[in-house]
Copies of this chain bind each other. A is one copy, B any other.
Amino acid sequence: MSMNSFGHLFRVTTWGESHGPALGATVDGCPPGVAIDEGMIQHWLDKRKPGQNKFTTQRREADEVKIMSGVFEGQTTGTPVQLMIENTDQRSKDYGDIMDKFRPGHADITYWQKYGIRDYRGGGRSSARETAARVAAGGLAREAIKQIAPNVQIIGYMSQIGPHKIDRENFDWSQIEQNPFWTPDAQAAEDWAAYLDDLRKSGNSVGAVVEVVARGVPAGIGAPVYAKLDTDLAAAMMSINAVKGVEIGEGMAAAELTGDANADEIFMGQNGPQYSSNHAGGILGGISTGQDVVVRFAVKPTSSILTTRKTITKSGEETEIITKGRHDPCVGIRAVPVGEAMMACVILDHLLLHRGQIGENRGQIG
């Protein structure tokens, strides 16, 4: 019952603080025989890496991953894979302000209330830097998925920033890699750039919505009634720093629909069942339908802003704080590869679990 772990058979434990010697992911349960090297994982870490454009923090972190165990001659062996990222920049800084004051919107105060001690440097364990370990684990999961379900594709993108949503009419998969927001709507990318630039200059921040889609997931994975595919995805996404809401398929909007509008009717296609629509987000009763698995999550605005906020100190005195330093005006951007990584881990986990529960056979239709 490790609180820093997730997954059933593909089990990821992350460890490490923002400003400690290193952080990483101890990955247990990766199947043997998966071809992997550090470059394949680095690819995804680079996607998350800060400082790549003016919309992400200008801090420089190498985020270079090292495989410390579980891989032999280029293949996983079935033993734990330790993925470690050393914190290269740990020089002593003046943390005076955040050492004693609790930053509003951050976990400073609750870590203190829970533990009575906290590593305040850069947020310590509660820093979004922890997500680098998830992205590393997700990179490994992606390669393992190829072995078991080679048709699976996992793609994340931003679908909203502040009040500005993408226009679904403009949705173009090929655009996602073409803009700093990983958004499929080229027009939105342009508009958002201007909007975010203004925000950044004013020292403010804004929230966002990230959507992650898994395509090609075979029907039948998921484990009712408490390790449902959607349950595990909701937990996975909600565990990401700053996430405040998670939706599957229609999501919160399902509340507004009537039964006849919401039903995804079923037809018989060449390769099995087909559906008239995907309100369900590819999941019924916690089990995949074979349609796209669609998850969406809201990321709150960065709490580190250049406006003075009221707060208290450890000793209970009222005071003010302003969070200096270079921060992401919209952490939602860098949450895209994190969401993808979580999706990859959950999908792999359920592919393995299904095999353990059922073997390779399952109910055939037609």
Contact = CB atoms under 8 A, between A and B. Distances in A.
Interface stretch (A55-63, A178-186, A241-249): A241-249
A2 B28 contact: yes
A345 to B, nearest CB: 11
Interface in A8-31: 8-9, 11, 13-17, 20-24, 26, 28-29, 31
A91 interface: no
A155 B84 CA distance: 35
Nearest to A285: B107
A209 interface: yes
A17 B204 CA distance: 48
Contacts of A82: 15-16, 22, 24
Interface in A166-221: 199, 204-209, 219-221
Copies of chain A in the complex:
4
B316 A119 contact: no
A266 B105 CA distance: 9
B287 A114 contact: yes
B107 A251 contact: no
A77 B267 contact: no
A359 interface: yes
B358 A300 contact: no
Interface centre among A161, A288, A365 (most CB of B within 10 A): A365
A80 B13 contact: yes
B16 A13 contact: no
A255 B225 contact: no
A225 B77 contact: no
B112 A363 contact: yes
Interface string A293-313: 000001111111101011110
A262 B105 contact: yes
A292 to B, nearest CB: 15
Given A245-B250, A247-B252, 4 more contacts: A105-B280, A228-B239, A255-B298, A262-B301
A-B interface, 3 closest residue pairs, ranked by CB to CB distance from nearest = A316-B366, A107-B285, A356-B356
9 contacts: A5-B226, A16-B68, A104-B266, A110-B220, A113-B220, A199-B258, A231-B239, A244-B281, A316-B366
